[in-house]
Structure 1
Amino acid sequence: MTYLPAENRYDSMLYNRCGKWGLKLPAVSLGLWHNFGGIDNFENGRAMLHRAFDLGITHFDLANNYGPPPGSAEENFGKILKQDFSAYRDELVISSKAGYLMWPGPYGEWGSRKYVLASLDQSLKRMGLDYVDIFYSHRPDPDTPLEETMMALDHAVRSGKALYVGISNYPADMAKEAAQILKDLGTPCLMHQPRYSMFERWVEDGLLDVLEEEGIGCIPFSPLAQGLLTDKYLKGIPDGSRATREVFLKKEDVESAHDKIVQLNEIAQNRGQSLAQMALAWILKDNRITSVLIGASSVKQIEDNVAMLQKRSFSDEELGQIEKVLKK
């Protein structure tokens, strides 16, 4: 069947500027880290992308290694893009990244110019694109000069293969240095993509201040702490959940956070929200945040997460209650 997006797709979504720059992103963006790879149900991924766009989500975030297997999320996204979204390319913001292991040998990961630019070419081929809207250095490389990685990002823009560039997982001091290098090269840093949630708040210790000073946007990933900040683990660890596979989320993580999850869920219910909705809104309360990057395994999850936008504000009392729980 031919996909026709909803005519009212822009009516309810909030769009925020990326730092001081002209590009706007939806307050909720969809990441394809999980559930869009070669081992996943293709039609489920397709349905999620359709529904996301219908709800005003214009930003789809990928990376070279997303799958599994690595690269397969970009391949699947490319198929769906060609089949359903080719007429709407200019309404989309598509991002990818390079930094983690993609192929064997000394040139298959990290931040050398050779790897970064080869990876971008591979990503474009997998997705069937001439350019990505945002291209990120996925992680800092301790053995490559920061100048080399940033020069590669600058080249990606000047070659027409990326419109903007960003960084991900960079600590505050390196983010500031990277921003200055890019500024001097004439290709400013648009975005930073850090891990940030109620349970992981390192960005508050300097990084958000740097981004504000430099005019850089921020799009946190793992805002639900790999599912901890949902109702999934309120009554223990269900069969088939991510924690049972001990990948990215461990059983001990669930056990140690259980009491906090229960108490936060009670606060969310009093607000008339699910725990996941409250956790997303809590991140967006900071005006330095451009967009929150969600993952999803179903259309319903996307719908529920976007519904969070109907109740984004917090009272001082609610914020105090949340802080009291988080500090225990």
Structure 2
Amino acid sequence: MTENNYRPVDTRYEAGMKYRRAGHSGIQLPEISLGLWHNFGDVDTLSESRRKLHHAFDCGITHFDLANNYGPSPGSAEETFGYVMKHSFASYRDELFISTKAGHDMWPGPYGTWGSRKSLMASLDQSLRRMNLDYVDIFYSHRYDPYTPLEETMQTLVDIVRQGKALYVGISKYPLEEAQKAYDYLKSHDVHCLLYQGRYNLLDRKVEETGILKQVAENATGFIAFSPLAQGLLSGRYLDGIPATSRIARGGFLKQEALTEDVMHKVRALNEVARRRGQTLAEMALAWLLKDDLVTSVIVGVSSVEQLDDNFKALRNTAFSVEEQDEIEKILTSVAK
């Protein structure tokens, strides 16, 4: 028994979670993964963060997605996870798939950002200490660095695997041409790119339009989607205005300017499709991403256990008829009048 008296339920792999293989690898990820971008920092209550992490694992979520600068404040999400790792998850480490990333601003000076060897190596060492881990399951280059030779960034990922600090590596938000160079470099050095992490949702389909999804499949890599609810636009919270507790009202990353007439026209029409399917808008938005095998896993961020349970409901129906897909496509390509 651990310090916090946590023991996962014996039925955690019978709770309805499904798993998908990441590209042509041996790794299977839960269809829904838990992201710690927000709601797990030092501005949040540790007991509630711990409760959400426990509940996620009890429900079959084995993949927890972090980055060096997640919080707020930067680094504090990893510290929160590290506390739970030490006091709750230590005995279950081999059941977990834990990711972290580096590439965005983390500490002052020229080495606390982008993708140099010095920055990536130092950042991962810091992350491992914060999370009480000897290694992560996957380490990402969090964004393409136009100032550092791609070969330097990719060789650093290769060396991180060779050193045993990460079992796998991935890339996030890379443009098409640079992503292919990354795949090729890693492959030529016998390190496969396990995952591409990109923004993907009903309102943002750039990974389709630019060919990223097609390229991912051609390189036998998995694709993991973040921002599946468009930072809340597809959560259903804004159908009748801006709630006082919403991200927009609190002045977060989602701005009021995002609620354009065109966006709200699409959101309300999508909500009607979801209603006919017997789903909430959020459930349908998640299900839509999982309707075929292009997406390995969807990363959700939650503020409560109840919200996590609501997200799980999406897995009950991820099938879309041809008519539903055609109607959704028509909505997404329409313009508000």
Contact 1:237–1:254 (Cα < 8 Å) also in 2: no
* Residue 271 of structure 2 corresponds to residue 268 of structure 1: no
Among 54, 58, 62, the residue aligned to 1:58: 62
Residue number in structure 2 paired with 1:215: 220
The counterpart of 1:183, out of the listed 166, 170, 187, is 187
How far apart, in 2, do the equivalents of 1:238 and 1:10 lie?
A: 36
Please report how far the alpha carbon of residue 136 of structure 1 lies from its aligned counterpart in structure 2 after TM superposition. 0.1
Residues 18, 217 of structure 1: 8 Å contact kept = yes
Q: Residue in 2 aligned with 1:243?
A: 248
The 3-state SS of whatever aligns with 2:13 is coil
Equivalent of 2:178 in 152, 157, 174? 174
Does structure 1 residue 72 correspond to structure 2 residue 53? no
Report if the CA contact (8 A) 1:218-1:290 is conserved.
yes
Deviation string 1:195-235 (CA, Å, 9 cap, x unpaired) is 11111101102101111110000001000000000111010
| 2:98 aligned residue | 94
Q: Which residue of 2 aligns with 1:5?
A: 8
Q: 1:304 maps to what in 2? A: 310
Is it true that 1:153 corresponds to 2:157 in the alignment? yes
Contact 1:14–1:27 under 8 Å retained in 2: yes
Please state how far the C-alpha of 1:149 moved relative to its aligned partner. Answer: 0.4
Distance in 2 separating the partners of 1:234 and 1:115: 43
Alignment partners' CA distance in 2, 1:231 and 1:208:
27
Contact 2:244 2:250 in 1 (8 A): no
Higher mean C-alpha displacement, 130-139 vs 7-16: 7-16
Unaligned runs of 5+ in 2: none
2:213 is matched by which residue type in structure 1? L
2:86 aligned partner, one-letter code: K
Structure 1 unaligned blocks of 5 or more = none
Q: Percent identity over the alignment?
A: 58
Q: 1:41 aligns with which of 38, 45, 52?
A: 45
TM-score (norm 1): 0.98
Instruction: Report the Cα distance in structure 1 between the residues aligned to 2:327 and 2:80, rounded to whole angstroms.
Output: 43
CA RMSD of aligned residues (A): 0.9
TM-score (norm 2): 0.96
Q: State the alpha-carbon separation in 2 of the partners of residues 113 and 284 from structure 1.
A: 35
Q: What is the deviation of 1:18?
A: 0.5
**What letter matches 2:250 in structure 1?**
R
Matched residue SS, 1:134: strand
SS at match of 1:67: coil
Aligned residues: 328
| Alignment partner, residue 85 of structure 1 | 89
Structure 2 residue matching 1:10: 3-state secondary structure: helix
Alignment of 1:197-236 (within 5 A): 197-205=201-209, 206-236=211-241
Measure, in 2, the Cα distance between the counterparts of 1:185 and 1:163: 15
Q: Equivalent residue for 1:314?
A: 320
Question: Alignment partner of 2:259: what SS?
Answer: helix
The alpha-carbon deviation at position 321 of structure 1 amounts to 1.3
Deviations 1:243-286 (A, max 9, x none): 12333211021233222111111110110111111001101113
Q: Deviations over 1:131-189 (max 9, x none)?
A: 00000000000100111000111111000000000000112221111000000111110
Tell me which stretches of 4 or more aligned residues in structure 1 moved more than 2 Å. none
Q: 2:22 aligns with which of 15, 18, 21?
A: 18
Please report how far the alpha carbon of residue 3 of structure 1 lies from its aligned counterpart in structure 2 after TM superposition.
1.0
Q: For the Cα contact (< 8 Å) 1:18–1:290, is it kept in 2?
A: yes
